[in-house]
Amino acid sequence: MGSGQVTDWQGKNVTVAGLGVSGIPAAKALHGLGANVTVVNDGDDARAREQAAELRALGVTVRLGDGATLPEGTELVVTAPGWKPDKPLFTAAREAGVPVWGDVELAWRLRGPDAAPWLCVTGTNGKTTTTQMLASILKAAGLRTAAVGNIGVSLLDAVLGEERYDVLAVELSSYQLHWAPSLRAHSAAVLNLAPDHLDWHGSMEAYAKDKGRIYEGNRIACVYNVADKATEDLVREADVEEGCRAVGFTLDAPAPSQLGVVDGILVDRAFVENRQKNAQELAEVSDVNPPAPHNIANALAAAALARAFGVPPKAVRDGLRAFTPDAHRIALVADLDGVAYVDDSKATNTHAAQASLAAYESIVWIAGGLAKGATFDELVAKSAKRLRAVVLIGADRALIREALARHAPEVPVVDLDRTDTGAMLAAVQEARRLAVEGDTVLLAPACASMDMFVNYNQRGDAFASAVGELGT
């Protein structure tokens, strides 16, 4: 099972590592193709037993509570993307010369001869929004498409389902890219690079290398962020098909082979005739929802990938206008007494929080949670001039408080020594007390949520509920 397509799965012994959103579709697909499938899973809880019963009813072997041992006779391992590369199962596979694929790799290998091309998106932040924007633009062009991958829709389902697509908008995480060595996209974008998931990858260098895999073998365009040199470096290092171009996006006026912004207009100088002299207007900044700087960058990246696929300018404009971002992504919750209350609970790391803070001039910032090893000095130093006040919640709030003392000592700080879910109402009430007309009360925690909430969605809902109580 080398680098080529596998056409005959009959009788192949395949081990699927992990149940869940990727493991179950992989096991079902491989079993349906005639493979002998064994699923191994670390957990043995009620949910896992329920999933195992479903697979066993089909004839799939499932081993719960034993994800470390490689089943005898395994010829291929297909892993859930989150399983760390240093797990004993993978060490055993390497020693036995058994290849390890992720669900993305499996989907790539199972495509039919007339499969839809993939337009791929990765980056530390903004992946989902950009992929959804891209799908909206492609649909506006009349193309049959779907936003798939790390976004929650299984690539396997998209590849093996009955619906036929012209092109797929594919969000890919660094985990998925690590396990997808033969992926070759039509065009791809790396939106940005900042330290994240380093416990999984082992180093920033390894993390960047896995992100950069998205450019390997690109046919038409490698889209990079002009403001983030690391993304351009990944393009330079990639082995692409002859004729594939590097296309930058920037919030400034674009140079040739770039997309950018001129006088409130999104402009293309990459996919036009005589790009040394000509430019094509695509949309207005006001067509982007919301028109925060980092979201304009997302829109430019989506537009670049769509234009690489030949989409006309009008579809870019219409697709951006039709796009509505998911909840908890820099979403205006309410405007009370001239103060805007904005939920960006999805800003779970410092890079995302910095982009959110850059969107407003005068901010009462609600922050804190689980830091996941992050440091906050750079974030606070870059954002200090925008901060009217800060309200801190969560387990690791002291790390942010200490950074504020070093880099923004004049900014008032309220430190709520609480990690119960009711702390959000207290935080919003404190923020209201501190804010004046024209301010933005911004929930951009720069931390994960699991110290107080099930996930960032619940945290954002708690913020919205607390803001709702202010208005009554």
For residue 298, what is the DSSP state? H
Residue 36: count other Cβ atoms within 10 Å of its Cβ.
Answer: 20
Q: Hey, is 132 helix, strand or coil?
A: helix
Which distant-in-sequence residues (6+ apart) come within 8 Å of 433 by Cβ?
none
Q: Between the CA of residue 394 and those of 138, 370, 401, 427, 453, what are the distances in Å?
A: 41, 7, 12, 11, 10
C-beta contacts of 231-239 below 8 A and 24+ residues apart: 231/123, 231/190, 231/191, 231/192, 231/193, 234/190, 234/193, 234/208, 235/190, 237/212, 238/212
Buried b (16+ CB within 10 A) or exposed e, 258-283: bbbbeeeebbbbbbbeebeeebbebb
Q: Hey, is 62 helix, strand or coil?
A: strand
Q: Hey, is 61 helix, strand or coil?
A: strand
Buried b (16+ CB within 10 A) or exposed e, 47-64: ebeebbeebeeeebbbeb
**Closest to 90 measured CA to CA, from 78, 104, 73:** 78
Please list the residues that pair with 266 across neighbouring strands. Answer: 261, 283
Residue 113: count other Cβ atoms within 10 Å of its Cβ.
Answer: 5
Prior bond of 290 cis (ω within 30°):
yes
15 sits in which H/E element:
strand 13-17
**In whole angstroms, what is the distance from residue 84 CA to residue 86 CA?**
6
**In whole angstroms, what is the distance from residue 43 CA to residue 21 CA?**
15
Q: Which amino acid appears at position 362 of this protein?
A: S
- As annotated, the binding site includes 123-129
The answer to whether 328 touches 345, Cβ cutoff 8 Å, is: yes
90 sits in which H/E element:
helix 88-95
Please list the residues that pair with 443 across neighbouring strands. Answer: 343, 366
- As annotated, the binding site for ATP includes 123-129
Please provide the size of the chain in residues.
472
